[in-house]
Chain A
């Protein structure tokens, strides 16, 4: 008897992210990105490195559909992000964990609210969102009893970075897009973050992270990027071989 094809039987494409001849321009300035070709397989850990202004953050924003390329294509699971409507791109981002350093926490809200917000936006119930937020914060070593109800305006820089990372992890996403996740972290905190990312990667989560300067090696903060990390160096908007 012939088996009817079902959604679960459809093989997921091995390539999760594919960038082809991507260029990104802002006005008449030099392109922020030029001729970028990149394939990221499911479960892969990719580290973008390079000096400030190399185009790492722009590339990550293109990957999560916050911006669209000026030319070329960015595909997520074979879907061209430029062809999707803003609503569809927004829904797609719910399946990602995104970290943008230096911004992204609502200062007026508490730590737990900030982390749970990602779960609530994704449609999780109030209590379940809080439960997940506590778990994510504890995973990153944040004392929930002490800091959970504190306003994010009163957090130190490294704590804010950990809370933002916890928010990226709260929905247990299949893809993590992390812009300089070790920035501003002290040794033990950075080590813990690297461990957590390693665990996520081992469990099949695709990770695309960036690192600037001395955080690219991981060594100065007391830890190292996972051994199977594929490194891609960017400079002046171009990918170096």
Chain B
């Protein structure tokens, strides 16, 4: 009984079957390639998804620059609502919170260690009314200092407390952190892209001996390429599908925990789930990319392999 195996020379279906045979011929190579491609793609996807969810980056309120505007005198002597409105309209001011003198005194009186001092019976209340002015977290330390100077000019009779040093330091740390994060993201992105490119290029094992023989026998260049192109497309599409699945699994497993963690630090986190339908064009696009990479590689091999050399 002959164990001969035909060679797919014509037709797309024959090319597809030949591609499947080539892929399954070396299962370990296929598995290793799929693993590499999936991890590279998943890294890119996870990084993109994280950026998408966390963008635009925001600092927690505790990290915002704040100035205290202390207004002396009791209610009625100053129109606090007007003061608040004026402050709120100043440059770089993101929000204004009011802490009334009575509320502040009551809070002090309730504190442990101060409760026995009889602060609640203190008359008249010596504390000032206070406005907590929060500045734009994206503003630089210098800009915030200029804005604070503007407040002093606006209400010369009031005491304005602002400690520039902590915000300067925090601002520097945040800037360094941002630059590091961008550099790290670029490096990771490049590494993932390199891994992806390598995975696509090495997606199919090109049998140079076979290519040389087929050229010698007069097989059309397109026919020689077809099984390799189909194999490249199949493998890339499979890697893309696995990577998408991995991303969805990560989303399902970690999203709630991550969202809780990030909310504790008051960071922005978009809870909109990833559009599952976007997986289809992603898989198709990667399949096309895999086919293009295989075709390009085959053309290079064909150009350098016009049959066995003398």
- A interface residue numbers (CB < 8 A to B): 57-58, 61, 66-67, 86-87, 90-96, 98, 100, 102-107, 109-110, 112-113, 116-118, 120-123, 126, 129-130, 148-149, 167, 179
Contacts and interface: CB of A to CB of B under 8 A. Distances in A.
Given A61-B307, A117-B7, A148 B220 contact: no
Contacts of B215: 66, 90
A112 B218 contact: no
Contacts of B2: 112, 130, 148-149
Contact of B221 (A87, A103, A106): A87
B5 to A, nearest CB: 6
A123 B310 contact: no
B9 interface: yes
B57 to A, nearest CB: 54
Given A126-B6, A129-B6, 17 more contacts: A90-B218, A91-B218, A93-B216, A95-B218, A100-B307, A100-B308, A102-B308, A103-B209, A103-B212, A104-B216, A104-B308, A106-B213, A112-B2, A113-B5, A116-B4, A122-B218, A130-B4
Nearest to B5: A113
B10 interface: yes
B306 interface: yes
A104 B213 contact: yes
Interface in B196-242: 207, 209-210, 212-222
B207 to A, nearest CB: 8
Interface residues of B, number: 26
Contacts of A122: 217-218
A104 B306 CA distance: 12
Contact of B216 (A100, A102, A112): A100
B227 to A, nearest CB: 13
Given A112-B2, A116-B4, A149-B2, A103 B217 contact: no
A104 B209 CA distance: 7
A163 B158 CA distance: 104
Contacts of A110: 3-4
A179 B308 CA distance: 12
A117 B4 CA distance: 10
Interface in B277-309: 306-308
19 contacts: A57-B310, A58-B310, A61-B306, A61-B307, A61-B310, A67-B306, A86-B221, A90-B220, A91-B220, A92-B218, A93-B216, A107-B209, A110-B3, A110-B4, A113-B4, A117-B213, A120-B6, A121-B7, A121-B214
Contacts of A57: 310
B141 to A, nearest CB: 65
A102 B209 CA distance: 12
A120 B306 contact: no
Nearest to B10: A123
Contacts of B207: 106
Nearest to A61: B310
Contact of B7 (A87, A90, A120): A120
Interface in B1-44: 2-7, 9-10
A110 B4 CA distance: 7
A95 B209 CA distance: 22
B5 A109 contact: yes
A103 to B, nearest CB: 3
Given A121-B7, A149-B2, A149-B3, A94 B217 contact: yes
Nearest to A56: B310
B282 to A, nearest CB: 35
Most central of B6, B212, B310 by chain A CB within 10 Å: B310
A103 B4 contact: no
Contacts of A106: 207, 209-210, 213
Nearest to A125: B6
Contacts of B222: 87
Contacts of A87: 220-222
A129 B87 CA distance: 92
Contact of A90 (B6, B221, B310): B221
A123 B308 CA distance: 23
Nearest to B219: A121
B195 to A, nearest CB: 30
Contacts of A149: 2-4
A167 B221 CA distance: 20
